């Protein structure tokens, strides 16, 4: 029994260490070249287009405190007829404005609806849009940017499982 406990403690310790290492690598300092590339994009990249840093489907948005405007709880599925939010975090060059970001809601091969959002140049621009799927099944949510010459670029794609109403 003692040997089994020691094995469990050792395995648990390795798991905790692996998680801490993963978290540290996410927060690692960028190299000088990475920092320079980003600064050039942010300060000199006007007209190059926005970057979708992160996006997810959420049940709500935090309204106060240090996490204000962040996704409250990410969800991977929702009941048909219930509302949720597509939350997005962008970065875009300073002094720029993008009024041509389209959120497309698709079930199967059929586009069921689309919404348009605008963002201004910012290091961290958060925006969200409400979504209320009316039919069960797998939904695809695409974040698109219509750029110069009407060229459409896919910035991100989410999949959401919509279950039967209870």
Structure confidence by residue, pLDDT tens digits, 23-69? 555 789 999 999 999 999 999 999 999 999 999 999 999 999 999 99
| Whole-prediction pTM | 0.80
Name which CATH class applies to 48-163: mainly beta
- Residue 116 contacts residue 102 (beta carbons within 8 Å): yes
Query: What angle is formed at CA 71 by the lines to CA 70 and CA 77, rounded to 5 degrees?
Result: 170
SS3 36: helix
- Residue 131 contacts residue 86 (beta carbons within 8 Å): yes
pLDDT tens column, 63-89:
999 999 999 999 999 999 999 999 999
The domain segmentation of the chain, as residue ranges, is 48-163
């Amino acid at each position: 029994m003692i040997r089994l406990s020691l094995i469990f403690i050792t395995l648990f310790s390795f798991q905790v260490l692996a998680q801490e290492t993963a978290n540290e690598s996410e927060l690692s300092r960028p190299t000088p070249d990475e920092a320079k590339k980003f600064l050039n994009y942010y300060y000199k990249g006007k007209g190059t287009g926005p970057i979708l840093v992160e996006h997810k489907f959420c049940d709500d948005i935090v309204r106060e405190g240090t996490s204000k405007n962040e996704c409250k709880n990410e969800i991977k599925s929702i009941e048909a007829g219930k509302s949720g939010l597509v939350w997005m975090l962008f970065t875009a060059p300073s002094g720029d404005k993008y009024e041509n970001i389209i959120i497309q809601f698709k079930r199967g091969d059929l586009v069921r609806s689309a919404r348009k959002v605008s963002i201004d140049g910012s290091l961290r621009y958060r925006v969200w849009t409400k979504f209320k799927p009316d039919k069960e099944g797998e939904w695809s949510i695409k974040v698109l940017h219509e750029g110069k010459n009407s060229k459409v670029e896919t910035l991100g794609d989410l999949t959401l499982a919509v279950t039967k109403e209870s």
